[in-house]
Amino acid sequence: EAQVTQNPRYLITVTGKKLTVTCSQNMNHEYMSWYRQDPGLGLRQIYYSMNVEVTDKGDVPEGYKVSRKEKRNFPLILESPSPNQTSLYFCASSWGANTGELFFGEGSRLTVL
């Protein structure tokens, strides 16, 4: 089954404690992206990757890091989480950046105390 898998689905952590949200896709997609969803603000792009070893900033990259060492994986790293990073995070993948046909994971709800 074609899918995008995120882990963890739910996480409560404290300010400053590094964490990683993993994302894996099994569709051989070249394009992967991270979004955060906040009430009233819709989805905002954090980082994206056009292919292996190619990553770029989205609209709200501050406080986040990513890596793309393999085609299937695109982890999101919060080196020193802060309360304003409390949000619902989605990973998505696609054949290309502008195809619009994104496949989304089920989301990771992160709370930073």
Partner 1 sequence: AQSVTQLDSHVSVSEGTPVLLRCNYSSSYSPSLFWYVQHPNKGLQLLLKYTSAATLVKGINGFEAEFKKSETSFHLTKPSAHMSDAAEYFCVVSGGGADGLTFGKGTHLIIQP
Could you tell me how many residues make up the chain?
113
The mark string for 51-90 relative to partner 1 (x by CB under 8 A, - otherwise) is ---------------------------------------x
Residue closer to partner 1 (CB basis): 18 or 98: 98
Residue found under tokens 């400053």: 16
Residue closer to partner 1 (CB basis): 3 or 82: 3
Binding of partner 1 at residue 22 (CB under 8 A)? Answer: no
Q: Which long-range contacts (CB under 8 A, 24 or more apart) does 42-50 make?
A: 43/90, 46/76, 46/89, 47/76, 48/97, 49/74, 50/97
Quick one: which of 53, 70, 79, 101 contacts partner 1 (CB under 8 A)? 101
Q: Residue 43 CB, nearest distance to partner 1 (Å)?
A: 4
- The SS3 call for residue 76 is strand
φ/ψ of residue 85, rounded to 5: -95, 5
Q: Which residues form the interface with partner 1 (CB under 8 A)?
A: 4, 40-45, 48, 90, 92, 97-102, 104-107
